[in-house]
A and B are shown apart, each in its own frame.
Chain A
């Protein structure tokens, strides 16, 4: 594992130089959150009113957390780099090193979000404290459990994105599939909690990555319970195991089909 820790550290060192560039995205996050705060303030008649099990503060914090995950983990390694590596043939020059390419990408991706996510978490905390107030029923002792869930969710997201990118071994361009997946997460997963959708759709959403990537971690932050934590972490463990198995399978099959331009 030492080599992957070194890859992680190298990406961290490289990306620290781009902290100012990452901060440029703060504006988009603020606009997004501002619109949602206004929307929920309009929908909720009183702060105590409960919609789909969420008070107004919980609902706004939920959106802030899912958007924090979205913006904070929206790094290039898992999607753009894998697709580009395969299309350009650059993957050939990364494969002849004694590491597994998919672990290499995961280590790089972790290095990228390790800088982005804390920056967005800080921004979310400032905007939330300023415009919404404290997170309801938040207890500091539950923070490590929430962070574990958050890390698992982001890693599952990366594994799914890598799997989609690996389709580039067979088709010209995996970006349309990447786009569909991103929009599924963004539109269905980040803007509203699963409980808002019709009862018939909720079990379906629970079977998609939305449940483990966005809903689970954000739900625990706004409404933590030990039972819910166990349920979500178990689902994440299953998703991660299945996702990794699929990722290795696709990679192993795909690599045999590798065609490198120029020989």
Chain B
């Protein structure tokens, strides 16, 4: 069964344009000018339940915009989206109960609270009964080895510890689909490896569908079974990792060649 179904999804942003210097600033007040930027242009794809998909592309290719439309944060200008059979634009709140998100560059934890208080907080947000929250906190603490710092304020944790807590917080409600936006950014190789093994474990044990964007070839190679490359808002490759590996070239080289041949067009 499909966890995600996208048909001809499009999103256009209107961005202000200003000429350089003071003259340009004054002109921008008198004659404001805007430019239309097509961040995502009629893309279509499907993701099966339990699949781990890498959704990659150069900066500004439209990856994050796509994730934000899939999670109901941004409204598409055209096309259809279904995540777990739910239209995110119409039933964002209903969908929120069934998906999890980890944005490597954004904290969702409350930094002045401890991970334990944060997990309790997220448990309540997702309407999980107190007793069940306690049970899940214990389970997550064991799985992610959080016990030694579960009562330390988040602001005092190392980046690696914090990311593990971010994962645990996003899993407290046992989401069926997990959206990961550069989850290993800024981590050292050891912590990166531990985060990857956590993602793998989650996928194997809970059958969680993973939608991953990352610039790290290691993340893609070690986790995903399929890769979609987007550039300038369009899909330029959608293939299985197995098939890509059979081509003989390393994954990094393959990605680089595609980026180069597509001209690495960015939206901003």
Chain A residues in contact with chain B, CB under 8 A? Answer: 2-3, 5-7, 10, 13-14, 17, 90, 92-93, 95-100, 255-256, 258-260, 262-263
Do the beta carbons of A14 and B112 come within 8 Å of each other? yes
B117 at the interface (CB under 8 A from A): yes
How near does chain A come to B30, taking the closest CB pair, in angstroms?
Answer: 16
Any A CB within 8 A of the CB of B81: no
Contact B73 A13 (CB under 8 A): no
In chain B, positions 85-117 with a C-beta closer than 8 Å to chain A are 92-94, 96-97, 99, 101, 103, 106, 108, 110, 112-113, 117
| Chain B residues within 8 Å of A, Cβ to Cβ | 13, 39, 60, 62-65, 68, 71-75, 92-94, 96-97, 99, 101, 103, 106, 108, 110, 112-113, 117, 120-121, 124-127, 267-268
Contact B96 A97 (CB under 8 A): yes
Query: Which residues of the other chain, A, contact B106 by a CB distance below 8 angstroms?
Result: 90, 93
CB-CB nearest 9 A-B residue pairs = A263-B64, A6-B124, A98-B96, A263-B65, A14-B112, A92-B73, A96-B71, A3-B125, A93-B106
The CA of A37 and the CA of B101, in the complex, are separated in Å by 55
Residue among A17, A96, A256, A259 facing the most chain B CB atoms (10 A cut-off) = A96
Q: In the complex, which of the residues B68, B71, B103, B124 contacts A2, with contact meaning CB atoms closer than 8 Å?
A: B124
Cα–Cα distance between A256 and B11 once the two chains are bound (Å): 12
Q: Whole-angstrom distance from the CB of B100 to the nearest CB of chain A?
A: 9
Contact B63 A263 (CB under 8 A): yes
- Chain B residues positioned under 8 Å from A5 (CB to CB): 124
CB neighbours (8 Å) of A263 from chain B are 39, 60, 62-65, 68, 267
Q: What residue in chain A is nearest B16 (Cβ atoms)?
A: A172
A15 to B86, CA, bound (A): 38
Residues on the B chain within 8 Å of A97, using CB = 96, 125
> Chain A contacts of B113 at CB under 8 A?
10, 13-14
Q: Which of B74, B97, B99, B117 is in CB contact (< 8 Å) with A13? A: B117
Which residues of chain B come closer than 8 Å to A259, judged between CB atoms? 13
Are A98's CB and B125's CB within 8 A? yes
From known contacts A2-B127, A98-B127, infer whether A258 and B39 are also in contact, taking CB-CB under 8 Å.
Answer: no
Question: Do residues B68 and A92 form an inter-chain contact, with CB atoms below 8 A?
Answer: yes
User: Inside 8 A of A258's CB, which chain B residues have their CB?
Assistant: 73-75
Alpha-carbon distance A255/B68, docked complex (angstroms): 13
How long is the Cα–Cα vector from A263 to B55 in the complex, in angstroms? Answer: 14
**How far does the Cβ of B140 sit from chain A's closest Cβ, in whole Å?**
18
Q: Which of A10, A98, A256, A262 contacts B121 (CB 8 A)?
A: A10
Once bound together, how far apart are the Cα atoms of A90 and B68, in whole Å? Answer: 12
* With A99-B125, A263-B267 already in contact, 5 other A-B pairs whose C-beta atoms are closer than 8 Å: A3-B124, A95-B72, A260-B73, A262-B268, A263-B68
Q: B127 to chain A: which residues have CB within 8 Å?
A: 2-3, 98
Q: Decide if A10 touches B74 in the complex (CB within 8 Å).
A: no
> What is the CA–CA distance of A98 and B110 in the complex, to the nearest angstrom?
17
